Amino acid sequence: MKQKLIIKSATLFKIFILIFSINVNCKKDHQNVEPLFLLFLSETNKDWYELGEEFSGGETTSFDITTINAFDHGASNLSRERFLRFESGNSFFNTTWTNPGSSARDGLGPFFINDSCRGCHIRDGVGSAPQLNEKINSMTVQISKKTGTNINGGPLADPIYGLQLNNRDIYNNQKPEADPRVIGYETKIVTFPDGYQVILKKPIFDLNFNYGIPSDYAFSARVAPKIIGLGLLAAIKEEDILKKVDENDINQDGISGKPNYVWNVESNRFELGRFGWKANQPNINQQNQAAFNGEIGITTPLFPNENCTVNSHPSIDCNNPPTGNSQPEANLEITNLVNFYTHLVAVPIRRNYKDPKVLRGKELFFKIGCESCHTQKYITGNLEEFPEVSNQKIYPYTDLLLHDMGDDLKDDRSDFLANGREWRTAPLWGIGLVKRVNPNAGFLHDGRAETIEEAILWHGGEAEQAKLKYIQLPKNDRESLLEFLNSL
Amino acid sequence: MKTIIKSNFFILTIVSLLLGSFCKKETDNDNAFWALLLTNSAKDNSEIIKRYANLAFKIYEETYTKTVELKNAVDEYVNDPSNQTKLIAVRNKWREARQKYLLTETLRFSDGPIDNPDILFVEVDGSPTELEGLINAWPMDEQFNECYLIGSNIIGGSGCTQRPLDENSLINFNAENDREENVATGWHPIEYLLWGQDDADATKDPGRGLTQTIHYFTSDPTFSPRRRTYLKNATNILLNHIKMLKDSWDPSDQNSYYHKFVNDPNALKKIITGFASFSKNELAAERLNGIDTRDQEDEHSCFSDTTNQDFYYNALGIKIFFTGDYNGEEGIGLDTISGIYAERILRQLNLTLDGMNPEIAPTYDVVIVPNAPGRTTEHEDQYTNIKFNLRPALNNVGFDFVEIGTNLGFTIIPRIP
């Protein structure tokens, strides 16, 4: 008897909503943004589930969603034979490089940030957020001249420090380039209409230069991003990325979407940038070799010179820097293996993807405008030598384009066409497992956001409107949106 | 006859229901179906698990005995360091003890005492640390040991320092400065002290040669005594750590891991995860990556040139724990419930055992380095054999273990080395 009553009242409620919605719809001017209160009333709909959307990486999708190694698995469609090559590549991604002269893989440094790829990309996930007053260990601080560019239009290296501050050296850190540390925070309180408050903390860095303070410099602190699904991103057709370009905001949605064109060292020309926080690398190979050289101090086929430019280290002479037994230190076979590996690290399957709350969150994600930049899906093209990632239906939630993210996120360091306020839309796949893989991981470029909600609240610039809509949402809808993000 | 079939069917039904209820997360109906086809009975599984645990204790015990012999040989040598015979004895004891240890590496990646610090750990610089790295870490930067611990610059380095070499200090030097390649304890630092650096050269003995090694242990008033102290203390540490492992598997201690393990409902899954991870992720992919790079830098036991024995005894270890048979003593192993996979796995493991036999196989570093002095067609043939036969075989063994797991109703997620 009691049950019946409930059903009845629920039905009445539905009818009420229906009538109400129709009224609103009739009044609605289609040129305007949908009135926000409509969102609160529209019913969560099973239709928001799309068949197969849980396979974020298409057929490459992996199935470990419970362990700390959830990001450290190969594409599920790798053959046994290619899996062997994948794991051999993994071993070099994990290899710790040793001082020049050792019998193992040697040639570390002389200046470096970490001694392995894995050291920063912890279990292939996001690096740890910098802790107050502690040495940074899985992020880089990039530096360059504030004005001017190099001959290829990229950041102009500082004559002493180069393009990143290496905070370690191979002789027990006698005198590394610098020792950047977070020395405090600028805090900001966000108050929601329902009184809920979130305290945001923006880290303040002291760079602690060891070789003098450079004149006219810009810097940008960046945690190591997760490396899942990179081959799939590489396989997205360029035309599909450019489709969303709207640099002058002709459609007047407040969102521009700008491609970065960056220098390809191998082909000697400008190409669309896809990788890195500012889409400043055209392909995975160049990204990897640049990281070997800049962050580990390992010479590679593309970057054969030691990253050594300081002038007064007590034991290191940069005119004649200590080098490893092999030249380059990471030879073509090693960079090929690491490339193979980094193309094929799988994206894990989504969780709770049919949960009504998650589907409601997904609906809101689209309706308040998040998806305008965090583009949901693509069908990849053909990527030569990588059949696994070719022709896959994928759900990365990124447009790989640059967007003005506002004052709070700006770093004032331009990188090719990306100015100091612009960042590449970060792919959201796997975001719900980031903390499982590395509990100390921080979100956003400098790891400042401890939670996904904090990351949303830091959005500004082109994302300001979407953020404001998020703040206006009632509590259960905010929770739904976060549950959706956590299901990715 | 009929009744027996019926009651068997009844038991199977019960088992399938149990699988359905206890392993809900991992078992779907298909897997339960396969489990029924492959599994004899729950009793067999517990016997497999028990045999595995008994072998773990037995082989750790033998490793311990052999490491005691190594320790005794070291003690004799450091008191008489110019005695060539005694140095040869130490080297031989290192090889023998390591052979036993290599058999136990199959126990890795199984959430057990060797690499799960929640079960067994040593404090390193204040943090609980698994034993595996303290015993067998590689790659190691020997310049750290030579220059920053012993204090000599004979193999390079800058600002070499003489650090305290007592056991406690040595343990805490591991991964100093957040660098995993700083390996102060375990097999490889001892190996370095006993052999020194080595070239890929078929025309020379491994390492610096006996005379040179003795020279390092005797001639220098500052560094020779320090090198002797290091050798002695590192050997003691190794012995203690192996004793901890042995004790953790001791069935006579009611509180040991042995008893937790044999009563652990996930024991079989852990066993298979270890087999799969060790065969394909560790042995095939990582340890044999020098086949890809053709560079001696990727050879693990490079100082002593005993890398063939690494592969041989590692593969033998998988075979022993898989079959339950050891030293002529038969036991019940996972092979009994592995269906058609059993024969194939053994065939592929035997390929490695034949191809990597340390008594006859050509030296690994010369095999992988294309322009090594003294390299012959025998080395090139071995390279081809490893690349096209042995390495894929070990990889296949790992995948077969994953499939055995699937058929028994487990989702096996191999661990990354």
d(CA A52, CA A349): 10
| Surface of A (424-453) touching B: CB under 8 A | none
| Surface of A (155-214) touching B: CB under 8 A | 168, 171-174
B349 phi and psi, to 5 degrees? -65, -40
d(CA A245, CA A399): 9
Contacts of B350 (CB under 8 A, 6+ apart): B319
- Asked whether the beta carbons of residue B197 and residue A315 sit closer than 8 angstroms, the reply is no
Over residues B168-185, the pLDDT tens digits come to 999 999 999 999 999 999
- Asked whether the beta carbons of residue A333 and residue B294 sit closer than 8 angstroms, the reply is yes
Per-residue pLDDT of chain A (488 residues; tens, 9 = 90+): 344 444 444 444 444 444 444 333 333 333 344 444 444 444 545 589 999 999 999 999 999 999 999 999 999 999 999 999 999 999 999 999 999 989 999 999 999 999 999 999 999 999 999 999 999 989 999 999 999 999 999 999 999 999 999 999 998 899 999 999 999 999 999 999 999 999 999 999 999 999 999 999 999 999 999 999 999 999 999 999 999 998 888 888 889 899 999 999 999 999 999 999 999 999 999 999 999 999 999 999 999 999 999 989 999 999 999 999 989 999 999 999 999 999 999 999 999 999 999 999 999 999 999 999 999 999 999 999 999 999 999 999 999 999 999 999 999 999 999 999 999 999 999 999 999 999 999 999 999 999 999 999 999 999 999 999 999 999 999 999 999 999 99
* B252 min Cα distance to partner chain A (Å): 33
Q: Kind of pairing, strands A378-379 and A269-272? A: unpaired
Indicate the residue of B177, B280, B292 with minimum beta-carbon distance to A173: B177
B347 vs A: CB within 8 A: no
Q: Which of B160, B173, B208, B293 to mutate to test the interface with A (most CBs of A within 10 A)?
A: B293
Instruction: Copy the structure tokens of residue A359.
Output: 């589907």
Of the CA atoms within 13 Å of residue B8, those in its CB half-sphere come to: 10
For B198, name the nearest residue in chain A, comparing CA atoms only. A103
Residue B371 three-state SS: coil
- Asked whether the beta carbons of residue B139 and residue A63 sit closer than 8 angstroms, the reply is no
A340 vs B: CB within 8 A: no
Which chain B residues contact residue A72 at CB under 8 A? 416
Question: What ipTM, to 2 d.p.?
Answer: 0.89
Indicate the residue of B281, B297, B411 with minimum beta-carbon distance to A326: B297
For B183, name the nearest residue in chain A, comparing CA atoms only. A98
B344 vs A: CB within 8 A: no
Q: Which of A92, A96, A115 to mutate to test the interface with B (most CBs of B within 10 A)?
A: A96
* Band of pLDDT at residue B416, cut at 50, 70 and 90: confident
Which chain A residues contact residue B155 at CB under 8 A? 101
Q: Where are the beta strands (DSSP E) in B111-194?
A: 122-124, 127-129
* Band of pLDDT at residue B43, cut at 50, 70 and 90: low
Q: Kind of pairing, strands A217-223 and A261-264? A: unpaired
- Asked whether the beta carbons of residue B180 and residue A115 sit closer than 8 angstroms, the reply is yes
d(CA A108, CA A122): 19
Query: What pTM was computed for the model?
Result: 0.90
Please provide the DSSP assignment of B286-345 as one string.
IITTHHHH--GGG-TTTTTT-HHHHHHHHHHHHHHHHH--BTTB----GGGG-TTHHHHH
d(CA B417, CA B402): 16
A131 vs B: CB within 8 A: no
The answer to whether A392 and A229 have CB atoms below 8 angstroms apart is no
- Asked whether the beta carbons of residue A96 and residue B139 sit closer than 8 angstroms, the reply is yes
- The 3-class secondary structure across chain A, one letter per residue, is CHHHHHHHHHHHHHHHHHHHHHHHHHHCCCCCCCCHHHHHHCCCCHHHCCCCCCCCCHHHCECCCCCCCCCCCECCCCCHHHHHHHHHHHHHHHCCCECCCCCCCECCCCEECCCCHHHHCHHHCCCECCCECCCCCCEEEEEEECCCECCCCCECCECCCECECCCEECCCCCCCCECCEEEEEEEEEEECCCCCEEEEEEEEEECCECCCCCCCEEEEEEECCCCCCHHHHHHCCHHHHHCCCCCCCCCCCCCCCECCEEEECCCCEEEECCECCCCCECCHHHHHHHHHHHHHCCCCCCCCCCCCCCCCCCCCCCCCCCCCCCCCCCCHHHHHHHHHHHHCECCECCCCCCCHHHHHHHHHHHHCCHHHCCCCCEECCCCCCCHHHCCCEECCCCCCCEEECCCCCCCCCCECCECCCEEECCCCCCHHHHHHHCCCECECCCCCECCHHHHHHHCCHHHHHHHHHHHHCCHHHHHHHHHHHHHC
Instruction: Copy the structure tokens of residue B187.
Output: 């097999």
- Asked whether the beta carbons of residue A98 and residue B415 sit closer than 8 angstroms, the reply is no
Indicate the residue of A84, A314, A331 with minimum beta-carbon distance to B391: A84
The distance between the two most distant Cα atoms of chain B, rounded to a whole number of Å, is: 85
Please provide the DSSP assignment of B51-108 as one string.
HHHHHHHHHHHHHHHHHHHHHHHHHHHHTSTT-HHHHHHHHHHHHHHHHHHHHHGGGT
Report CA-CA distances (Å) from A319 to A168, A307, A309, A322, B63.
19, 11, 8, 10, 50
- Asked whether the beta carbons of residue B142 and residue A315 sit closer than 8 angstroms, the reply is no
d(CA A43, CA A51): 20
Which chain A residues contact residue B295 at CB under 8 A? 326, 331
d(CA A340, CA A87): 9
Which chain B residues contact residue A73 at CB under 8 A? 413
Which chain A residues contact residue B198 at CB under 8 A? 103
Hey, how many other C-beta atoms are within 10 angstroms of the C-beta on A373?
Answer: 25
